[in-house]
Amino acid sequence: MWGGRFADGPSAIMREINASIPFDKALWRQDIAGSKAHVAMLAQQGIVTAEDARAISDGLDRVAAEYEADGVPEDWDLEDIHMTTESRLAELIGPVAGRLHTARSRNDQVATDFRLWVRDAIDQMDAGLLGLQQALVTRAGENAASIMPGFTHLQTAQPVTLGHHLMAYYEMARRDRNRLADARARLNQCPLGSAALAGTGFPIDRQATSDALGFDRPTANSLDAVSDRDFALDFLMAAAQCSLHLSRLAEEMIIWVSQPYGFVRMPDALSTGSSIMPQKKNPDAAELVRGHSGRIVGCATALMVTMKGLPLAYSKDMQDDKPPVFEAAGLLALSIAAMTGMVAECTFNTDRMRQAAELGYATATDLADWLVREADIPFREAHHITGAAVKLAESKGVALDALSLEELKAIDARIDQRVFAALSVDASVASRVSYGGTAPEQVKARIAEARAALGME
């Protein structure tokens, strides 16, 4: 393609290090769409004849049909998807193919293709997260009043409901989808027509190609347009943050399926066995989601470091933008699908969860709150009295509400019979009626809002 200036061909090492076709062939659909929009605009502007434009456009359709049927051929001499397609087009339609690259460079071409690809990836990720949210909301609805221990420091803290816990992940997914929507809005400007770096003297119509490719408007600065990869970084950062959420959910599943917890049984379809221990049912899928988040964060880091310190405009370093984006998108799509399946199909052992909530003195705060409310004791003092009650219960190996009234009165005479109504896990959960709290009525209200927002009504 640029042989005119060169006396010698590239060395084997040059060919290998230069070739991006092994990975950027994934852009072939976007590349064909961009070229068709470009050539249609060239004809409309009288830069190529209508006849040539038709030959080129039909030829591009033939190339696309070949790719669809047989895959994209990988010839390192043709470097990348752009040259691969143009070269095949020339084989099919002859020298007129050479008119396609008028008023265009691979620099604006790849920036356009890649934006189109990332835009699709954003839309797919958003659809995946919608499915995850629907699964979470469905399971939360079934368990709006199911009691489980809430933890801080992974120590039993206060009883909560399983529905409340699941809805916490709904909120995370909601922020993830917001970030994607932000990223998409910023991404949706068309670089095509920025040419190599400075724009072009041909009378092109950038609005026309922008419209044809579904962008909101053409980019405003040609130097920025060909050297900007913020859109890829926005995607990777949103993907990384989403993967952190999935990893936390995966980690909780891993803990919850372990025998000492026994809160959850994983669906067989998302578990593996052991080749030596017949009793084993391992949460490998959740562990891989936890592991994949590390790789996704690595992808975001990789592209940030690639872009750091690059002078304007295009440098070949930027060819390395694609592998981390492709890798992160693939890993994340799988991770979302795996966690959606787990949430939708797992069996919650709600009896076991309730027992665990009853075991860990999870209602100690409720005793302290009762002393404040009913006996007008300052909270710090109530905290101290409650600590003494927990200590006694612990030494006897019983729950707080299994202490007798006499025992409680011996700790503080202001305690009376009514306290027992406050000490059950049900009473504790039912009392947390503050907005966004774990009381079933609150959880149900949030679930109803979520269902409406997700179109589940």
Q: Is 106 in the site for ligand ARG (CB under 6 A)?
A: yes
Is 308 exposed, middle or buried (CB count within 10 Å of its CB: 0-12, 13-18, 19+)?
exposed
| Residue 274: active-site member | yes
Taking the complex as a whole, how short is the minimal distance between the CB of residue 187 and ligand ARG, in angstroms? 17
CA dihedral 269, 275, 279, 284 (to 10 degrees): -40
Radius of gyration of the chain (CA): 30
Taking the complex as a whole, how short is the minimal distance between the CB of residue 54 and ligand ARG, in angstroms? 27
Indicate the residue among 153 and 316 with the shorter CB distance to ligand ARG. 316
Half-sphere exposure of residue 154: CA atoms within 13 angstroms, side-chain side: 6
Taking the complex as a whole, how short is the minimal distance between the CB of residue 77 and ligand ARG, in angstroms? 13
Give percent helix, percent strand, percent coil of the chain, each to the nearest 5: 70, 5, 25
Distances in whole angstroms, Cα of residue 12 to Cα of each of 2, 15, 19, 77, 428: 17, 5, 11, 10, 72
Of 35, 82, 105, 153, the active-site residue reads 153
Q: Is 165 in the site for ligand ARG (CB under 6 A)?
A: no
Taking the complex as a whole, how short is the minimal distance between the CB of residue 106 and ligand ARG, in angstroms? 4
Q: Choose one: 174-182, 210-218, 313-321, 433-441; the region binding ligand ARG (CB under 6 A).
A: 313-321
Taking the complex as a whole, how short is the minimal distance between the CB of residue 319 and ligand ARG, in angstroms? 4
Q: Is 227 in the site for ligand ARG (CB under 6 A)?
A: no
Dist. CA 412–CA 415, nearest whole Å: 6
Indicate the residue among 230 and 268 with the shorter CB distance to ligand ARG. 230
Q: How far is CA 358 from the centre of its chain?
A: 35
Q: Is 386 in the site for ligand ARG (CB under 6 A)?
A: no
Dist. CA 46–CA 208, nearest whole Å: 14
Taking the complex as a whole, how short is the minimal distance between the CB of residue 2 and ligand ARG, in angstroms? 9
Q: Is 30 in the site for ligand ARG (CB under 6 A)?
A: no
Look at strands 189-190 and 217-218 and give their pairing.
parallel
Q: Is 222 in the site for ligand ARG (CB under 6 A)?
A: no
Report which secondary-structure segment, H or E, holds 151.
strand 147-152
Kindly tell me which residue out of 30, 209, 222, 319 binds ligand ARG, with binding defined by CB under 6 A: 319
Encoding tokens for residue 300?
A: 């975001």
Dist. CA 328–CA 235, nearest whole Å: 9
Q: Is 110 in the site for ligand ARG (CB under 6 A)?
A: yes
Mark residues 68-87: x for contact with ligand ARG by CB under 6 A, - for none: ------------x-------
Q: Is 303 in the site for ligand ARG (CB under 6 A)?
A: no
Indicate the residue among 76 and 420 with the shorter CB distance to ligand ARG. 76
Q: Is 20 in the site for ligand ARG (CB under 6 A)?
A: yes
N- to C-terminal Cα separation, the chain: 57
Q: Is 115 in the site for ligand ARG (CB under 6 A)?
A: no
Q: 250, 249, 256, 328: which is closest to 285 by C-alpha? A: 250
Kindly tell me which residue out of 117, 263, 314, 348 binds ligand ARG, with binding defined by CB under 6 A: 314
Active site residues: 153, 274
Chain residues binding ligand ARG by CB under 6 A are 20, 24, 80, 106-107, 110, 314, 316, 318-319
